[in-house]
Amino acid sequence: MARPLTLHPDRLFPADPALRSLTRALYATVADVPILSPHGHTDPQWFADNAPFGNATDLLLKPDHYLFRMLYSQGVPLEQLGIGNPDADPRAAWRLLAQRYHLFRGTPSRIWLDWVFAQAFGIQVQLDASTADHYYDHITTALSTDAFRPRALFERYRIEVLATTESPLDTLAHHAAIRTSGWSGRVITAYRPDPVVDPEFEGFADSLARLSQLTGEDALSWDGYLAAHRKRRAFFASMGATSTDHGHPTAATADLSPTAAAALFQRVQRSDVSAGDAELFRAQMLTEMASMSVDDGLVMQIHPGSLRNHNAALFARFGRDRGADIPTPTDYVHALRPLLARHGNNPDLTIILFTLDETAYARELAPLAGHYPALRLGPAWWFHDAPEGMRRFRQQVTETAGFYNTVGFNDDTRAFLSIPARHDVARRIDCGYLAQLVVEHRIEDWEAADLAFELSYGLAKRAYRL
Amino acid sequence: MARPLTLHPDRLFPADPALRSLTRALYATVADVPILSPHGHTDPQWFADNAPFGNATDLLLKPDHYLFRMLYSQGVPLEQLGIGNPDADPRAAWRLLAQRYHLFRGTPSRIWLDWVFAQAFGIQVQLDASTADHYYDHITTALSTDAFRPRALFERYRIEVLATTESPLDTLAHHAAIRTSGWSGRVITAYRPDPVVDPEFEGFADSLARLSQLTGEDALSWDGYLAAHRKRRAFFASMGATSTDHGHPTAATADLSPTAAAALFQRVQRSDVSAGDAELFRAQMLTEMASMSVDDGLVMQIHPGSLRNHNAALFARFGRDRGADIPTPTDYVHALRPLLARHGNNPDLTIILFTLDETAYARELAPLAGHYPALRLGPAWWFHDAPEGMRRFRQQVTETAGFYNTVGFNDDTRAFLSIPARHDVARRIDCGYLAQLVVEHRIEDWEAADLAFELSYGLAKRAYRL
Amino acid sequence: MARPLTLHPDRLFPADPALRSLTRALYATVADVPILSPHGHTDPQWFADNAPFGNATDLLLKPDHYLFRMLYSQGVPLEQLGIGNPDADPRAAWRLLAQRYHLFRGTPSRIWLDWVFAQAFGIQVQLDASTADHYYDHITTALSTDAFRPRALFERYRIEVLATTESPLDTLAHHAAIRTSGWSGRVITAYRPDPVVDPEFEGFADSLARLSQLTGEDALSWDGYLAAHRKRRAFFASMGATSTDHGHPTAATADLSPTAAAALFQRVQRSDVSAGDAELFRAQMLTEMASMSVDDGLVMQIHPGSLRNHNAALFARFGRDRGADIPTPTDYVHALRPLLARHGNNPDLTIILFTLDETAYARELAPLAGHYPALRLGPAWWFHDAPEGMRRFRQQVTETAGFYNTVGFNDDTRAFLSIPARHDVARRIDCGYLAQLVVEHRIEDWEAADLAFELSYGLAKRAYRL
């Protein structure tokens, strides 16, 4: 017999009754605040076309690397989940998830999915082998209705702004379609130049050629390359972008002379580019991007520290973003110094730092953000974007950086319905943290209420210039 | 007047009443589950001979480096504790411990010892200077009775399997004696090849000669050396071993060509072996051992990151394992890549990773184990095998790796009676963690009960192929 | 309307009622214990002259880099706060703080300042823009009264010993004045030789010349330099010093031959000293200082791991100690080995280690201090000297090092009135931690009471030989 599925109203609240009661009161004030999603990886085509999502597997399993990495770790071949295999039976893939749903106990995926099942689809039994087909049919049927089209869901979950992430080579055709469609939803882009900034990115030379073509600049010369960036940034800004995003292996920055930078740019275009030059060029480009942000006002996000494609065999077969990116120890205090020496004291610039290395929270990031006017800290990210990870973020960052050098929540997801699920988790955890500060008499209750709103909405609104 | 000693039934449970009540209920379901001890360093001769243990100091103080390292840190010479000094008076050594028992407040040794005193020996007063002789006499007298012989204690504490650790050069005579003794206790060995794998181990050349002698292979040639390992592994497996264990300074792995590996093996046999070659050889041997595990099914344990014998003067006088091994920062994400490229995607191989560097839990180990089918994570280890350390392990590992990529508890001890004491601590802490997940509505109560059994028994049974 | 300001008697106590009740009882036993402040940076002239402190800004804002670094991070120019700008209006600076007091929510500065406002000055309304002038006037008026002169405050807050920190080049004139003044307050110095030990310190060559002049030794020769140190240490000890303090970039130590050390000393006096030689010299000097401590009994404190003056533009304009020192990853296990090989086994020597890199607590520092007789661990320091940081310190250190290898609390402050505020926070947090150990039945209640006194007073008294 299937077990009932319910979302307890006190989920993720602290156990202590006084803390729980106060958390409940704080959460009630922010539960329905609109969602700002200033950083993520959803597909703008969804909102341009507003076509139905398809089936349960297409919507919930295939875009969610948290799910397939866990299933793979326990011996499920990715092909059977439909990854890199269009012939896979989506219902069979769904059953593989359902049979192994216990693997997700204690993980955020369990929290997010149960929210989606119960809240978005109104399912009342738990997912397991016995309910797999019920789930698949129920969700797939719902997705064929207008209420589950992308724009309807966007509105249902009170999303005020949703940012996607695009390469400078993207024509932003979907964003243009959204803007001319008459639909009022605000879906904006963000400028993610990794493919034309990282000499080790697949197809770097071709990308530079394409950048020249798109901009009419000679993107193979240093001055033309910079001019091309400026043009694309301006175009992205005209399509709503308020930020850039930089996903580098490290947080290294450099501040070379124009002559040295130009010579380096020629070297990195060679097919035998050295690892050192590639790293130095990425480092230099972070400072160049900061300089452009000073001029055009785009907020700069730095997401360093992921060793991409750790599993060479998996990468060869399935390509990027298949769950084999692994965090690495990440230096900030030395790495950021060149950029900060150039722009760190500028209070009109906003650079938002993220980390996959939690050891940097209290040791480097909070001290840096608690000093430099240009710096802010992004929320717990990726592997740490879960209740315990979020708690560690607040506990390790707040005492040195306070709340006002942070920027609210990012969902950073490819899985659309996890957006409201994740924001709900973040608000619950933050309210629990604030309640603890009140019960320990470190802040007053009215301050906690003020901060609950800031963490849910205000800080993101201002930091991302939304 | 002596103070009473009692073991509170709620010890180590969370303070909050709701959490405590649920923890109590969960713990009750696993308190009496048999003990699986798949990794440790007890002496198989105990069970072969079944001789009495001697006196309190021999049983409880001298084999326990947690105790003598703390006493040494506060100025007690090791000689006075009987370390490296057979002439020391064991009663006088015991008094030194008793007088300084307050040093252990807040440490796991206090918890383990009080359990042994109260539960195993039925002592009803606390240990201090005034009760030192009472303790010494009471324990020493008890040890002369049949109820306190090794096999009787093994059975009293429901140990289902106990693994010891032996060098490939060990003839396993004690294990053979156990097997032919008619006693039903399952004491197995584990293959720990450090002395013949680490060129910097004392007596490496002699050990290779002995390996040749034992196996009839030419263990000074690369092919013969590998063949000798295979033979000894097969012999260990025939004596019950289900696992190997590798205690390297780092987690470095390599995957050299056979030609390069053979040349390296010749170089590391020279007396002037370089540190780089020694490290590379250990790295290569981890991959070779993984290859053999693919063939023979032995589970592979990697225990890296201890800088052995930090205190040169102490090492010169007292030798290995005298409490001066210190953890070091340990890289996994780069170090394991060669081995994982070769075998990481093989779901039939099991590699269990341990760490003394907790910063790797959330940053590297959980992401790796949450992806590669061959990887599992061992429990909080050595310095971290204590209530707070165990809590950090669960809090930092579970959200990314879940519970099913972990392998239950290891006691990893030389102190026999600390085995049940340590398993009791682990079960109490794990139940407290599960209770928190339930009270925060992250899992259901029936799932917590399921997981309590898995963490206490099921995961170890399956991961170690017991 | 201004909001009321009160200090809740249960502030910083755990939320759980049983824990809170026990914490309250433990805290009551140590709330009024005299303050030992064995490490800090207050100005001895305050106690020599006993002149009034001036105004609110001079007392509370300008010496407190925690305050101005946060205000600067949010765009307030340091000049407006009076930093490096004697013409700044102190009332206007105070208003800038008051208007932005919400920035400190969740930070220790908020806790310390509210304590000072309410407890020291009896202010009954919260600080905000509307109460800024009331605060400024009230505090400034109070400071003109005898009750708020330095010696009166010293006595009011039951400070038993207060250590300042001086360079070997300091004549200790203020300390001499205090000793001859007839005042009974015990203000002592500590020997902080960084300016004459660090070849990269501003004015190193001039400092050596001055050292020669002060001691009559040829401090430009290695033997004369060491003799000069010995003389100055003896002078400091005669003025009450019981300790030395070393604020190096890393924890590197070395143990060169006298010949090699002498040659190195000549090299580091050259204007083109290499970074490697400078580091090696600092490393060698830690071992030399330890050797001298063996002889003269001064306790040795090592405060490594701060990258000083990270913000070059800020340093150029405002000089040292302006809030732009940032922690770095800090190795101890390898770095300390030379010094420990020489002196680590000496139980008559006391070396107190601090860290800005919390990852070392459980991994390196607790294992080292839990073994070497000469080592003790200083408390949570600087950025980590706050409720959550203190909790992490106890949680990560105690299980391996116990309590008796730690040394009680250090306030380490330049802000005089934060001394009692900080000790109060430390006692509250430590009592909460002890209460948890009792409620989890890990120690007995009478042991917690014993430890509460040790952590508040006894450990510091003994470790610092006060």
Identify which of A99, A383, A111, A119 has the alpha carbon closest to the alpha carbon of residue B444.
A111
| Eight-state DSSP code of residue B1 | -
Find the mean pLDDT for residues C67-72: 96
pLDDT in tens, A424-450: 999 999 999 999 999 999 999 999 999
In this structure, how many other beta carbons lie within 10 angstroms of the beta carbon of residue A91?
Answer: 15
pLDDT in tens, C277-301: 999 999 999 999 999 999 999 999 9
pLDDT in tens, B39-67: 999 999 999 999 999 999 999 999 899 99
Q: Does the distance separating the beta carbons of B340 and A311 come in below 8 Å?
A: yes
- Please report residues of C whose CB lies closer than 8 A to that of A405: 73-74
Q: Both tokens of residue C448?
A: 């917690």
How many separate domains does chain B show? 2
- Please report residues of C whose CB lies closer than 8 A to that of B12: 440-442
Same-domain check for residues B386 and B408:
yes
CA-to-CA dists, residue C359 to A361, B334, C334, C392, angstroms: 11, 20, 15, 10
Q: Considering only residues 122 to 181 of chain C, which have any Cβ-Cβ distance to chain B shorter than 8 Å?
A: none
Q: Does the distance separating the beta carbons of A14 and C16 come in below 8 Å?
A: no
pLDDT given for residue B1 in this prediction: 66
Q: Nearest CB to A73: which of B364, B395, B405?
A: B405
CA-to-CA dists, residue B358 to B302, B353, C344, angstroms: 15, 12, 26
pLDDT given for residue B423 in this prediction: 98
Same-domain check for residues C45 and C96:
no
pLDDT given for residue B281 in this prediction: 98
Alpha carbon distance A79, A87 (integer Å): 9
Question: Which distant-in-sequence residues (6+ apart) come within 8 Å of C453 by Cβ?
Answer: C29, C30, C33
Within a domain: C101: yes
Same-domain check for residues A127 and A229:
no
pLDDT in tens, B4-27: 999 999 999 999 999 999 999 999
Alpha carbon distance A361, A439 (integer Å): 24
Same-domain check for residues B119 and B23:
no
Under 8 Å between Cβ of C163 and C190: yes
Taking phi first (over 0 means left), then psi (-120 to 50 degrees means alpha), and beta for anything else, what does residue B10 get? alpha
- Mean pLDDT, chain C, as a whole number? 97
Alpha carbon distance A16, A436 (integer Å): 10
Length of chain A, in residues: 466
Q: Are strands C375-377 and C351-353 parallel, antiparallel or unpaired?
A: parallel
| C352/chain A closest Cα distance in angstroms | 20
Same-domain check for residues B30 and B115:
no
Within a domain: A1: no
pLDDT for B416 beyond 80: yes
At position A155, the amino acid (one-letter code) is E
Same-domain check for residues A43 and A105:
no
pLDDT in tens, B81-133: 999 999 999 999 999 999 999 999 999 999 999 999 999 999 999 999 999 99
Within a domain: A2: no
Query: A108 touching C, CB under 8 A?
Result: no
- Please report residues of C whose CB lies closer than 8 A to that of A431: none
| C199/chain A closest Cα distance in angstroms | 21
Best B440, B446, B459 member to test A by mutation, with max A CBs in 10 Å, is B440
SS (H, E, C) A156-169: HCCEEEEECCECCC
Give burial (CB, 10 Å; 0-12/13-18/19+) of B316. exposed
CATH of the domain at C120: 1.10.2020.10
Query: A398 touching C, CB under 8 A?
Result: yes
pLDDT for B312 beyond 80: yes
pLDDT in tens, B324-339: 899 999 999 999 999 9
Best A100, A119, A315, A326 member to test B by mutation, with max B CBs in 10 Å, is A326
- A386 three-state secondary structure: coil
With vertex at residue A152, the alpha carbon angle to CA A148 and CA A158, rounded to the nearest 5 degrees, is: 120
Alpha carbon distance C89, B298 (integer Å): 75
Same-domain check for residues B56 and B31:
no
Crossing angle between the packed helical segments A65-73 and A108-115, to the nearest 10 degrees: 130
Ordered DSSP codes for B434-451: HHHHHHTTSS-HHHHHHH
Among the candidates B105, B122, B146, a domain finishes at B146
Within a domain: C234: yes
| Eight-state DSSP code of residue B270 | S
Same-domain check for residues C75 and C47:
no
Query: A114 touching B, CB under 8 A?
Result: no
Low-confidence ranges of chain A (pLDDT < 50): none
Q: Both tokens of residue A462?
A: 């201002």
Q: Does the distance separating the beta carbons of C16 and A16 come in below 8 Å?
A: yes
pLDDT in tens, B363-400: 999 999 999 999 999 999 999 999 999 999 999 999 99
Within a domain: A414: yes
Within a domain: A117: yes
Q: Does the distance separating the beta carbons of B102 and C441 come in below 8 Å?
A: no
Does this model's pTM top 0.95?
A: yes
**Cα nearest neighbour of A315 on chain B:** B341
- By mean pLDDT, which of C57-71, C276-290, C308-322, C441-455 is the weakest? C308-322
Within a domain: B8: no
Same-domain check for residues B323 and B226:
yes
pLDDT given for residue B321 in this prediction: 81
Q: Considering only residues 9 to 48 of chain A, which have any Cβ-Cβ distance to chain C shorter than 8 Å?
A: 14, 16, 18-19
Q: What pairs with residue B376 in β-bridges? A: B352
Among the candidates C146, C161, C188, a domain finishes at C146
Query: C369 touching B, CB under 8 A?
Result: yes
Give Rg (Cα) of chain B. Answer: 22
Q: Considering only residues 77 to 106 of chain C, which have any Cβ-Cβ distance to chain A shorter than 8 Å?
A: 102-106
How does B425-463 read in b/e, with b if 16+ C-beta sit within 10 Å? Answer: bbbbbbbbbbbbbbbbbbbbeebbbbbbebbbbbbbbeb
State whether ipTM is beyond 0.90: yes
Q: Is the Cα torsion angle B11, B16, B17, B22 positive or negative in sign?
A: negative
Find the mean pLDDT for residues C90-112: 98
Same-domain check for residues A138 and A281:
no
pLDDT in tens, C346-398: 999 999 999 999 999 999 999 999 999 999 999 999 999 999 999 999 999 99
At position C347, the amino acid (one-letter code) is P
Q: Considering only residues 275 to 314 of chain A, which have any Cβ-Cβ distance to chain B shorter than 8 Å?
A: 307, 310-314
Query: B406 touching A, CB under 8 A?
Result: no
Q: Does the distance separating the beta carbons of A12 and B437 come in below 8 Å?
A: no
Q: How many CB pairs under 8 A join A and B?
A: 133
**Cα nearest neighbour of A346 on chain C:** C75
| C326/chain A closest Cα distance in angstroms | 6
Q: Does the distance separating the beta carbons of A327 and B364 come in below 8 Å?
A: yes
Q: Does the distance separating the beta carbons of C442 and B111 come in below 8 Å?
A: yes
Same-domain check for residues C266 and C138:
no
Query: A357 touching B, CB under 8 A?
Result: yes
Within a domain: A290: yes
Strands (E), C270-377: 299-302, 306-307, 326-327, 351-353, 375-377
In this structure, how many other beta carbons lie within 10 angstroms of the beta carbon of residue A407?
Answer: 26
pLDDT given for residue A285 in this prediction: 98
Ordered DSSP codes for A168-224: TT---HHHHHHHHS-----EE--B--HHHH-TTSTTHHHHHHHHHHHHSS-TTSHHH
Same-domain check for residues C342 and C440:
yes
- Please report residues of C whose CB lies closer than 8 A to that of B307: 333-334
Among the candidates C94, C112, C146, a domain finishes at C146
Query: Can you give the residue range of the structural domain that contains B62?
Result: 52-146
CATH of the domain at C385: 3.20.20.140
